[in-house]
Amino acid sequence: MVDSLQKAFFGVIALGVSCIAIELIPVSRQAAYWNRCLDATVAWIGEKEDLSTWSKKAKESLAVGVCNGAVYEPKLKTVKAD
């Protein structure tokens, strides 16, 4: 009796872990997509002449906003120092 109860518990645990793993698939895909967006946006910002002098943190901050959808302007507006 104890042996069959132990097998049942292991079965339930295995089923639970499998369900959790299946539920994490969309999250991991979204994270991979977001990371690709961040890398591509940082690379794009580095290619622009006006923005190439920005620090890495500033470029990544702008890239996070772009990938999160917080930047609504199709063109970046930069202010040139006199």
Q: pTM of the predicted model, to two decimals? A: 0.64
Residue with the bigger pLDDT between 10 and 77: it is 10
Question: What gap in Å lies between CA 61 and CA 24, rounded to an integer?
Answer: 27
Model confidence at 82: pLDDT above 60: no
Question: What gap in Å lies between CA 57 and CA 45, rounded to an integer?
Answer: 12
Q: 50 near 78, Cβ under 8 Å?
A: yes
Residue with the bigger pLDDT between 80 and 5: it is 5
Provide the token pair at 6: 């132990």
Question: What gap in Å lies between CA 14 and CA 20, rounded to an integer?
Answer: 10
Which pLDDT score, from 0 to 100, does residue 80 have? 66
Residue pLDDT, tens place only, 16-63: 999 999 999 999 999 999 999 999 999 988 888 888 788 889 889 889
Question: What gap in Å lies between CA 77 and CA 80, rounded to an integer?
Answer: 10
Predicted confidence band of residue 13 (pLDDT cuts 50, 70, 90): very high
